[in-house]
Amino acid sequence: MGSSGSPRRLSILERAYELARTGACRSVEEIAKRLKQEQYESVETHLGGSSLRKELRQICAEARARRLSPQEPSEIAAE
């Protein structure tokens, strides 16, 4: 928690990775849009690096695949 008793706001990069991991965003552009809606500043500057964008795209794709894929038979049997 911050000194005022409120929870600490995530940095822009922490929040970008969090959004990517949820699978709710399909692209870096969608992540940027959400960050702007959440009042983060200089979004394009923070998300401008090609390696960062590539990594966020990969995380988005993996998260979406996990959300869309049916459970493996071994996972179902374990339930």
- pLDDT tens digits along 16-65: 999 999 988 999 999 999 999 999 999 999 999 999 999 999 999 999 99
Question: What's residue 42's pLDDT?
Answer: 96
Measured between alpha carbons, how far is 77 from 2 in angstroms, rounded to an integer? 44
Please say if the pLDDT value at position 68 is more than 70: yes
Question: What's residue 4's pLDDT?
Answer: 58
Domain boundaries, the chain: 12-78
- Least Cα distance to 12 among 34, 3, 25, 29 occurs for 34
DSSP state letter for 47: T
